[in-house]
Structure 1
Amino acid sequence: MYSMDDEFFEEIHKFPFPVQQMLIKEIDAVMDRLEKGKCVPGLTSIVYFTIDIYYHANTYFMKLFEENGFEIYEQRKLVIEEIPIQTDTEKKIENRRHIVNELTERMRNKYWSAEEMGASQAEIFVNKLEISLNSIINN
């Protein structure tokens, strides 16, 4: 299970309740994917994901309020976070990790499809998978 600091919730509570629900639902979906070892396309860190959601929701409501005659006063803070530069070796390692995650996810999807077709199909799939993986692992 993952945890979020109080500061994060203080920021989310600034939004109307329906937006809070949307933000939490989106963040929960991403965190569940990460916990399962799945990669999230285009996501470099959860920090940038939350900033992106915050920005889009904030922009939407500012436009909505302005269209309805409300004056908007906002305060912004600039937070600079240094992103470590990856070496070519680190990039290759990261790329291989994403490939393994993708292959694992595709294998799980195939398994669940076979399971839906019945126990005999699932058994055949598992036997083929075991033979294939044993030849790779034991090599």
Structure 2
Amino acid sequence: EFEPALEKSGAAAEPLTRNAEPPKTYPLGLVLKACPEIADYAVEGIGNWRDFMITAAQVRGYLGVSPSAYEDACHVMGQEIAAVVIACILQRAQHIDSAGGYLRVLTEKARAGEFSVGPMLMAALRANGATAKMTG
């Protein structure tokens, strides 16, 4: 039997891991408001999740995150969430000594069911002074 999540995702039959949040948990607009710097790296802008994930994969290299660390994060968190994490890391890059090491720590927390991207995203929104629309 087919799983609806696999049919829609276009992923190469990669099931969601049990610790991962469902894909696209947060609206793309919210993610871009929290992490606007990633848009600077998009060749033709970011109009959808696919553009966002392609850009995050490129940014991974600029941040010095190894392909294996990003691949592991995608496998554990799901591609969309891993891309959001990369965007959040980029947003705070000047405060992070090792983006790759940080991603590996977050991936291990996610593997143990101890990481949710929500608080990270909300902190990025607060840091950008974009909380007005989130309260209430």
TM-score (norm 1): 0.30
Q: Which has the larger radius of gyration?
A: 1
Which one has the bigger helix percentage? Answer: 1
Q: TM-score, with normalisation over the residues of structure 2?
A: 0.31
